[in-house]
Structure 1
Amino acid sequence: MRTKQQTWRTTVLALLMGVAACGGDGDGTGSRAPTAVTATTPTTITAVAGAAVTPAPAVRVVDSQGRGVSGVPVVFAVTGGGGTVTGGSVQTGADGTATAGGWTLGTVAGANTLTATVQGLTVVTFTATGTAAAAAALAEVSGDPQSGAVGSALPQPLVVRVTDANGNPVAGTTVAFAVTSGGGTVSPTSAATDAQGRASATMTLGGAVGAQTVTATVAGLPQVSFSVTATAGAAATLTKVAGDNQTARTGAAVPVAPSVRVTDQFGNPVSGVTVTFSVTSGGGSVTGGVVTTSAAGTATVGSWTLGAAAGVNTLTASAPGVASVNFTATATATSDPCTVRTPF
């Protein structure tokens, strides 16, 4: 009988010791040494720059048996990309889990990192990619001011940039380009922004000299205007303005000095063109025969003196790259005051 009682007591004692060894914690929690910490929320995240990450980062601390350990201090800290964390110093709960109060990404789009640290254990790192928010601003990058000859394509494209409220480039936004004054064309008329938030178009100037305007528009945002200047093109035409078909005495200057105008292909006056006036028939002479066109595109010979013989005289005006024009004048004989006419 005593042997049976001793055996029973030994068994009960062993059971009690086993319970004590298990910490008396039937649900797998209690005061045990933490041996590992792992993330319980995704460690690779994408969110809008400047916004809070959901769900908030969380980790679980366990012992060597994989059971949660409560009361363990965990420090959550931002280690890259800017941003902030609230509730960064917490203790694990009954199941060994600790959750940061909140993690708000930095305002600059790109990589952000947050670490969860338990003393003596491997650090857990959360990585988030901050993306641009909705388009909030449209701004000119380049292309204004510039100038070019009428009818030609401007040397530089017209470039705009779309950004969000934090200044991050917004890709894939449609920008509409349109000529609003001065004529001309723009290509393309619609373009999507690239990874840098940029969209561009090339303008071909209209035929009128002066200011020309192109606008860039994104729905819901203030538009951007480009103001460019069209200048006269190359000399294309030389025309007579005044001084043709005159009559003067032989050896005398015509009363109106011949004048010409130089224009481009669109009829705009071209300044700075050298015009040469030269006598081509009838003799005679000119003064100021080489003249540069004015802002109005005109050039006027100094004077044209007809030849000594009565008859037709010709003056030619010429300029590089254009067809020349001819002026004609009739020289009439001068009466001899010493001649006495008799009635027979």
Structure 2
Amino acid sequence: MSGSGQTGRIGEALAEPLVARLVDERDEPIAGQTISFVVTSGGGSAFAGAGTTNSDGYVRERWTLGMTTAEPQKVEARMVDSGTGEARVLAEFTATALPGPAVGLRVAPSSPSTGPAGGTATLAVEVLDAHGNRVPDVQVGWERVTADATPAAATSVSGADGVARMDWALSGTIGTAGAAATLGQVRASLSISIMPGPGVRFEHVVTELVGGAPGGKPAVAPNFRVFDAFGHATSTDVTLTVLEGGGHLALEGNPTRATVRTTSLGWLVEDACVPGSCNPLQGNSYWVLGPTPGRNVLAATLANGEEIRFTTYAQAPMAAFARRDDGQPNGWIDWERDVLTFRVHACQTDTSFRRTLQVGDRISEIVFRQGIPYFDAPVHLEATPCHWVAQVDVTGLPPPWTVTLRAEDAGNASSTETVKVARCTDNRIQLCPVP
């Protein structure tokens, strides 16, 4: 047998014929036997399709390759034994089909549709012949279409797989970047959506948190927002680690360390989940404090090492406590009526409790009895739990004002906080703390 293993261009006849020889068990040639040549793969054709062995047992055929390089090119030499009727495959011939000249471009499936702000993306195109076969060793040009992406070089050459690739540097601006690949007059347009990059910093963080009962959860769970290097809020992995207090995370298995992912807006909220198993954080209270009273610390860490630590205290249950929102006076003065208005954080673990806001001898008070508020002064609840608004008329009381916040439960347990405030300089609305 000869003629197998040749290489030729698609749609063209191979240079050498296919040759098969038929012999008997004594290696003597068999003449006059009809041999068929059948294409079994690649879509090519045999010129005659069959031939008869000569006196030396040889038969020859011409093979034209098919139009594809995507599958093997194969031909079998077959016969039917005239004595037994047995169908026999005498030989298999193979060949390698080469693509035709490059005439087109197509965006490769591997070419990404998104990339990180300030990062890189490798765009790719397939170089094609007239029959859609990929063509190697062809130079392709690359052009910028928008200013948000820049190629590493002006040209690249398609590899053995017929794909030309180019690394593009992406800007820090969120949006769609345009690019083009060229082959002579042929042009393929590509685009890539620039997305927020990896998280590098935290914002909107309050690290000193209102505590809770041992073995319970803080009254306010740790929360934050993550941004990339260009100031874009980003969905990114964050590692939470319980560092102190003996608590754990409210995830499957009660781990003390887990990696969660922020939302597309960068917040760590209830739909953050552990990559892979995607265990949801339980509400926004995903940190369970240690079983004994004392300090508890939780760390949140980004891939670049940026870290924040949240601190709170597990303490014996108390039916009432009060503090200023975010550790700031967070109030304002109504200039026309000389009324101080304060937003106050005040949660309860009991249905009966009292809140008071006092300035000098002026007092605003709200009392809850079995969860129902009774107003003894111009005080009202806000829509969000654990917050209320109180107002005190300070007509005739010159600033600065010493404001006392007090919380009491039905068993007379209480907490108190005092802050001194005055009108901010050149500001007729906002209050400012006074030493």
Q: Calculate the TM-score normalised by the size of structure 2.
A: 0.39
Between structure 1 and structure 2, the one with the greater Rg is: 1
Q: Calculate the TM-score normalised by the size of structure 1.
A: 0.48
